[in-house]
Structure formats: C-alpha cells, structure tokens
C-alpha cells in the first residue's frame, strides 16, 4: 500500500488557478526522447519519428467510478494512470506520455490534490511516462479525472481486437477476479465502520485482494516477454470490465466464437478462500469481476510450445467458428453459454 501524509487543510482558492497548476506540476520531469516540449506552453510537442502513435482516454467520475470512502487519493491517482497505461499495453505498444485533467470542488483542500498527484507521479515514474499537460478547473460537486495516454509502436507490432481466428488459443496473464473481491472486502469494512467507527478492521487475510483493488499494475512487461518468446498475439484487449465482456469484444470484432474452461481459470488461493467466506462462486467472480488490468490475447495454435512453460501466461480456452457460439465448459463438463456481465457504468 501507499503511505498517506498527515491531514492539514489549505484552501485551493488561496493559490488561484495558476498557482495551483504550478504547485501540482512543477516537479514533473521529462524522460522520453519523443517529448520535445511538456508542460508550460499552449500545447505539448511530440516527435515519434518512424513509430506509430497510439492514444487512449479515460474519464473517471467520483461516485460512479470511485468512492473516496475507501479509495485513498494517492491510490486513485496511481490507478487512474494504470488504467490508461494498460490500454496502451493492450495494443502491444509502449506507453510514453500522459495528460492529466482534473475538475475539483472546493471541498478538496490542497493537501488532497497533493496526494492525488503523488499517486500520479509514482505511477508515471514506475511506467516511465512523461506527464506533458492537462487542464485544471473547478466542479460544483465531486472530483473528475480524465487521463489521456500516448504510446509508440512499430506499425507491424500493433495488435488489434479484430485479429483472432478459429483454433487460436485464448491466453490470460496473471490471475483474475481478485480486484473485484478486494472491492467486496472494502465495501464490507465501510459498512462495519459506518455502524461502529471505533471498530479497527483486521485485513490481514485480504491483503492481496485489497492491493489488487487499490493498487493494480498494468502489464507493461508482457510486450517484452512475448518478444522474447517470439510470439505475436493475433488479437489483444485488457481486462478492465471483466473477462467475459472482454472475450465478447474479441469474438465480436474478430467474427469468431470461443470455448473456455472453468478448470483453467487462473485464480489466486486468497481469492478462492475469501469467495468461500463470502459465499460467492469464484468462477462467477473470475468471469464477471473487473479492474484486474491483466491482458487477454489470442495466439496461433502452433505458438503453444513457446508459451506453455511460462508462469505469467495461462491458456484458458480457444477460439472457434462464429457459428459455434461462445461457451464455458464447467468442471462438471457442462457447456453453458457465455454472457457478458462485466461492469457497466451506464447500467448503474
């Protein structure tokens, strides 16, 4: 977990807009050779030479995408960067720059924004992305964060959602479902706290799950790993909304179906035991829970030998002809139709 600073409250109105921007952004360094001009002019200037540029944007609204009751601001800043970096990684590109735009109500003191930017700074250093600009304005209620990430790739290395073919293997990195269960644990603790604020939560049995929810990491390492293994995915997506809905995206855009196997889903032991405690089916969590920021990709069948020994990569099934549909084969060998039940902000 990330360390929190002591509470002190300085009004942001005192600094004024330019003072605030300067205070929050003055320490950002430029490290990418493609950044010719970062913060400080009307626009940043970039030069990607003979590489292609990939761009992705996310918008995060307090109360819709995050709850500050259990999401510390430093973690929120970190995670907001991770979500965007993950999208760039899912194109098999290298993240290089971000812009950060925020709208804040005056209920946030300067110290709160410092925490948010401490998380953004930590993530930008970790993923080696330059913060090259953004916008800072006020909101009447709550906090809004929008991050845009840029990345670079050789044209021939870029991987789209649309390249999967029947018989390709479906591969997932790391393990899945833990971020969702981390959120369930935090929500339960929030309710306990509301009933009795003196109750000190004992979260020792949940550290991995909570870490996955509050401080996820983007799989920037996978591009390099696959290059070493000499495997180029045929299609790829990151798991932000949940495995089943991401599989649906690959199937739809590639015009294929799929069969995945319950027994192959990579689950952390802590996830399994906490699902038992909460009386929730761990397969449902693995399939529908979001925010793991792992990568889901397909490879040609003949590349199986190159990846099979790698502990980071798990084959969970394969693609089939579109007419054969999308299915999950259970441990009891039942074939059930796969449905997209991922997290949907518009359905709230």
| Numbered residues of the known binding site for Mg(2+) | 42, 56-58, 87, 135, 238, 241
Can you tell me whether residue 158 is helix, strand or coil?
A: coil
Q: What angle do CA 133, 344, 265 make, to 5 degrees?
A: 100
Number of residues that bind Mg ion (CB under 5 A): 1
Among Mg ion, ligand ADP, none, partner that 133 touches (CB below 5 to 8 angstroms by kind): ligand ADP
Q: Of these, 76, 91, 93, 131, which contacts ligand ADP (CB under 6 A)?
A: 131
Asked if residue 263 binds Mg ion (CB under 5 A), the reply is no
User: Counting contacts by CB under 6 A, is residue 100 touching ligand ADP?
Assistant: yes
Q: Is position 135 an interface residue for Mg ion (rule: CB under 5 A)?
A: yes
The Cα-based distances of 191 to 90, 111, 199, 213, 276 in angstroms read: 36, 26, 11, 17, 20
CA dist 147 → 77, 79, 129, 160, 226 (Å): 10, 11, 12, 22, 27
Comparison of 105 and 136: residue with beta carbon closer to ligand ADP: 136
- 254 class by beta-carbon count within 10 Å (0-12 exposed, 13-18 middle, 19+ buried): buried
| Position 133 contacts ligand ADP (CB under 6 A) | yes
CB 270 within 8 A of CB 179: no
- Which span sits near ligand ADP by CB under 6 A: 126-134, 189-197, 211-219, 313-321? 126-134
Q: Does 119 bind ligand ADP (CB under 6 A)?
A: no
Residue 134 interacting entry, from ligand ADP, Mg ion, none, C-beta within 5 to 8 Å by type? ligand ADP
Cβ at position 84, least distance to ligand ADP in Å: 13
Residue 20 Cα to chain centre, angstroms: 28
- Under the criterion CB under 5 A, does residue 22 sit at the interface with Mg ion? no
The minimum distance between CB 22 and ligand ADP, in angstroms, equals 8
Stretch that binds Mg ion, among 1-9, 129-137, 302-310, 333-341 (CB under 5 A): 129-137
Query: Nearer to Mg ion by C-beta: 135 or 277?
Result: 135
Cα of 250 vs its chain's centroid, Å: 17
Closest CA to 310 of 189, 207, 201, 171: 171
**Residue 17 in the binding site for Mg ion (CB under 5 A):** no
CA neighbor of 124 nearest in space, from 22, 39, 245: 39
Find which of Mg ion, ligand ADP, none residue 102 binds, CB within 5 to 8 Å per kind. ligand ADP
Identity of the residue, 122 or 203, whose beta carbon is nearer to ligand ADP in the bound complex: 122
277 binds ligand ADP (CB under 6 A): no
Pick from ligand ADP, Mg ion, none: which does 39 bind, CB < 5 to 8 A by kind? ligand ADP
182 binds, among Mg ion, ligand ADP, none (CB under 5 to 8 A by kind): none
CA distance 236 to 163: 8
Quick one: 29 or 135, whose CB is closer to ligand ADP? 135
Binding mask 23-42 for ligand ADP (x = CB under 6 A): --x-------------xxxx
d(CA 281, CA 284): 5
Q: Which is nearer to ligand ADP, 81 or 248 (CB)?
A: 81
What are the C-alpha distances in Å from 196 to residues 183, 187, 203? 20, 14, 16
Cβ(260)–Cβ(317) below 8 Å: yes
Residue 324 within binding range of Mg ion, rule CB under 5 A: no
Contacts of 124 (CB under 8 A, 6+ apart): 28, 81, 98, 130, 131
Q: What length is written for the chain?
A: 348
Least spacing, CB of residue 238 vs ligand ADP, in Å: 24
Q: What is the DSSP letter of 77?
A: H
d(CA 174, CA 296): 10
Note the residues at the interface with ligand ADP (CB under 6 A): 21, 25, 39-42, 100-102, 131, 133-136
Note the residues at the interface with Mg ion (CB under 5 A): 135
């Amino acid at each position: 977990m990330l360390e929190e600073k002591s509470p002190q409250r300085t009004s942001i109105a005192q600094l004024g807009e330019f003072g605030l921007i300067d205070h929050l952004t003055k320490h950002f360094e430029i490290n990418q050779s493609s950044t010719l001009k970062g913060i400080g002019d009307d626009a940043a200037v970039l030069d990607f030479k003979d590489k292609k540029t990939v761009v992705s944007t996310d918008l995060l609204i307090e109360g819709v995408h995050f709850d500050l009751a259990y999401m510390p601001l430093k973690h929120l800043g970190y995670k907001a960067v991770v979500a965007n970096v993950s999208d760039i990684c899912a194109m098999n590109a290298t993240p290089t720059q971000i812009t950060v735009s925020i709208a804040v109500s005056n209920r946030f003191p300067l110290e709160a924004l410092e925490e948010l930017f401490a998380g953004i700074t930590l993530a930008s250093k970790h993923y080696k992305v330059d913060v090259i600009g953004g916008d800072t304005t006020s909101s009447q209620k709550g906090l809004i964060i929008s991050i845009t990430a840029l990345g670079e790739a050789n044209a021939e290395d870029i991987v789209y959602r649309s390249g999967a073919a029947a018989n390709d293997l479906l591969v997932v990195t790391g393990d899945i479902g833990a971020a969702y269960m981390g959120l369930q644990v935090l929500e339960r603790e929030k309710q306990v706290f509301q009933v009795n604020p003196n109750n000190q939560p004992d979260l020792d049995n949940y550290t991995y799950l909570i870490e996955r929810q509050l401080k996820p990491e983007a799989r920037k390492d996978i591009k390099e790993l696959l290059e070493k293994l000499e495997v180029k995915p045929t299609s790829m997506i990151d798991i932000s909304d949940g495995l089943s809905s991401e599989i649906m995206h690959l199937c739809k855009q590639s015009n294929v179906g799929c069969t995945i196997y319950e027994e192959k889903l990579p689950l952390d032991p802590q996830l399994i035991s906490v699902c038992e405690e909460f009386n929730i089916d761990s397969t449902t969590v693995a399939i529908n829970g979001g925010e793991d920021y792992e990568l889901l990709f397909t490879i040609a069948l003949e590349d199986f030998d190159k990846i099979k020994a790698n502990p980071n990569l798990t084959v969970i099934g394969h693609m089939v002809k579109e007419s054969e549909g999308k299915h999950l084969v259970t441990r009891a060998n039942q074939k059930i139709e796969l449905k997209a039940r991922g997290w949907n902000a518009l359905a709230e």
